[in-house]
């Protein structure tokens, strides 16, 4: 019995390689950490890839790339999102805030960054930018009134090092003393 013939996906039916047409480009305008940006993007690009690969904003991390870990969390128009699952094209004219834009202009740490240090809220640091951006939103949402509340509303952010006690303590502390 003969085997079915499988063609290489990168070749056309007629067998000529390299004939895949280039993806169409589209303009994208976003304000990131207060700075306006104009880009030409592939409409299939994720916000995470645009931030990391085009703009060198590598604070947001690509952990799972499928919405399961929260390492890529950034704020879009004040709401926390998984940037790996968000098409950059959907962020046209949006205000984007990343970990790079969190500290004060003079370099002073955001209170939540300082609280993460004070409470040992990290180990390897891979999840930390996502944890902090999600924590900032958690505080803004008023979902940080107790450790239990923080644990619930931060459940989309995974830490493989298990630094949860410090993460929860840092956010809950600020939740109880109201952020500026």
Which residues lie near ligand FES (CB under 6 A)? 62-65, 67-72, 82, 84, 122-128, 159-161, 163
CB of residue 62 vs ligand FES: minimum separation in angstroms?
Answer: 5
**Distance between CA atoms of residues 174 and 180, nearest Å:** 10
62 or 143: whose CB is closer to ligand FES?
62
Task: Yes or no: say if 74 and 97 are a contact pair by the CB < 8 Å rule.
Answer: yes
Nearer to ligand FES, 40 or 56 (CB): 56
Edge-first strand order for the sheet with 26-32 is 35-41, 26-32, 95-97, 73-76, 79-82
Phi, psi of 29 (to 5 degrees): -120, 125
Q: Nearest approach, Cβ of 109 to ligand FES (angstroms)?
A: 17
Closest approach, Cβ 66 to ligand FES, in A, equals 6
Q: Dihedral sign, CA of 144, 146, 152, 154?
A: positive
Cα gap 73→130, rounded to integer Å: 5
Nearer residue to ligand FES within complex by CB, 79 or 160: 160
Q: Based on CB atoms, which residue is closest to ligand FES, 120 or 141?
A: 120
Nearest distance in Å: CB 118, ligand FES = 16
């Amino acid at each position: 019995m003969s085997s079915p013939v499988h063609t290489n996906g990168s070749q056309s039916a007629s067998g000529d390689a390299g004939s895949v047409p280039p993806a169409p480009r589209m303009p994208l305008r976003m304000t990131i950490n207060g700075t306006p940006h104009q880009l030409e993007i592939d409409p299939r690009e994720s916000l995470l890839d645009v931030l990391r690969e085009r703009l060198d904003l590598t604070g947001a991390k690509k952990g799972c790339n499928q919405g399961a870990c929260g390492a890529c969390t950034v704020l879009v128009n004040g709401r926390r999102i998984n940037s790996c699952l968000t098409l950059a094209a959907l962020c046209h004219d949006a205000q984007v805030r990343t970990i790079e834009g969190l500290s004060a202009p003079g370099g002073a740490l955001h209170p939540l960054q300082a609280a993460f240090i004070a409470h040992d809220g990290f180990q390897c640091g891979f999840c930390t930018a996502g944890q902090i951006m999600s924590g900032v939103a958690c505080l803004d949402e008023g979902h940080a009134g107790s450790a239990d509340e923080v644990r619930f509303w931060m459940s989309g952010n995974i830490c493989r090092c298990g630094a949860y006690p410090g993460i929860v303590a840092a956010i809950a502390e600020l939740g109880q003393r109201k952020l500026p």
